[in-house]
Structure 1
């Protein structure tokens, strides 16, 4: 991977984060625009918010790539490292339900279960696509990244419990994480 490809990855991920935040923000806050809020100011604010989560996503992705290499080196076996990731993934999904249950008792059971299972389902779809484009061994690491790392990146907003902020942050995170994981193998193998 050369600097030209890294710059491409950085700026396309930044644009995806900003655009996805603007789209979700406009859908969720349309009443503010109808009530006279400045459309330009709202778009600029949402774009900046999306840029922030795009950068968080990129830091998380490169941190995971480093941890993945360490994991492969420490466990000396792809299968063992995959089982470790599955165990941590199960723990993260359970905690995403249980810790929200403890912190926000007023949330319905549907809401508490929907978030971890929707994140798991989206991660499984992305992991399946990655596996089809590369190899079978890509499924578990991709699923782990899409669920566990996204959850870690999402923690500051999860603590707030506000549904508007949850949506404004998770959509750019998922879009950016999916983009990065699905484009990297193409960038690495692409001749430039």
Structure 2
């Protein structure tokens, strides 16, 4: 991806985080901030809105850090664990779902015993994770990305949410969880589109990078190896056929 599209992807992610945080916060913080808009106290409302936008900027930044960590972890896991990596991801997803409920319930709700107030967080994350993973898997035709997408949407979102789950005020949870889920979904689904647009622009300009030249060489070598394998397989078939004919002739001559 060129720097132009990387910067565009980065700032649009930040903008999305700020907008969603502001919208959610104006609903959850109606009494503290939003009501000032309807009574004409625009200064108070503007101060609260700026604070919401700043908090959204923080959430979006945390999401971006988690996303780039995921881009490092996923190929590393594929290289280390190979065929076991999808099963390990599923185990981590299960652990993350349990942790989302247990950490907050153990700290704030254990004495009250009100499970419903704490179990809605993992439910939202899991439902959003399945929807986004299904969407991503549908778009990525020919590749199976459901489990990696689910892993990112559930496990990495859970990791990013841990600092915010230590706060008892549910308003913080609302403005954090919805923003994280939306921004994570945006990054996961839109990154390939930005990469494709960047490559298309480079092709139109006639720019070919070193990485692209190396990729073309690897593709040509792979095609050459495939042709060689097909040629060797054809020779093996011919040799087997000749051996079969010779054996048939020998058996016929022996019978005579």
- TM-score normalised by L of structure 2: 0.71
CA–CA distance in 2 between the matches of 1:43 and 1:156? Answer: 23
CA–CA distance in 1 between the matches of 2:190 and 2:35? Answer: 38
- TM-fit CA distance, 1:29: 1.3
- TM-fit CA distance, 1:46: 0.4
In structure 2, relative to structure 1, the CA distance for the partners of 1:107 and 1:47 (3 Å cut) is: farther
Deviates more, 1:134-143 or 1:152-161: 134-143
In the alignment, does 2:61 pair up with 1:60? no
Equivalent in the alignment of 1:24:
24
In the alignment, does 2:90 pair up with 1:83? no
- TM-fit CA distance, 1:48: 0.6
Equivalent in the alignment of 1:167:
174
Equivalent in the alignment of 2:118:
112
In the alignment, does 2:180 pair up with 1:184? no
1:96-142: CA deviation from partner (whole Å, max 9, x where unpaired): 22222221223621122221122101110011110111145111111
Relative contact order higher in (CA < 8 Å, ≥ 6 apart):
1
- TM-fit CA distance, 1:161: 2.5
Instruction: Look up the SS of the partner of 1:108 in the other structure.
Output: coil
Equivalent in the alignment of 1:72:
78
> What stretches of structure 1 of length at least 5 have no aligned partner?
none
Instruction: Look up the SS of the partner of 1:76 in the other structure.
Output: helix
Verify the 8 A CA contact 2:17 2:183 in the aligned structure 1.
yes
Equivalent in the alignment of 2:46:
40
Instruction: Look up the SS of the partner of 1:161 in the other structure.
Output: coil
Instruction: Look up the SS of the partner of 1:184 in the other structure.
Output: helix
Equivalent in the alignment of 2:97:
93
Verify the 8 A CA contact 2:103 2:165 in the aligned structure 1.
no
CA–CA distance in 2 between the matches of 1:31 and 1:17? Answer: 23
Deviates more, 1:102-111 or 1:181-190: 102-111
Deviates more, 1:93-102 or 1:124-133: 93-102
Equivalent in the alignment of 1:149:
156
- TM-score normalised by L of structure 1: 0.93
CA–CA distance in 2 between the matches of 1:61 and 1:70? Answer: 14
CA–CA distance in 2 between the matches of 1:116 and 1:90? Answer: 10
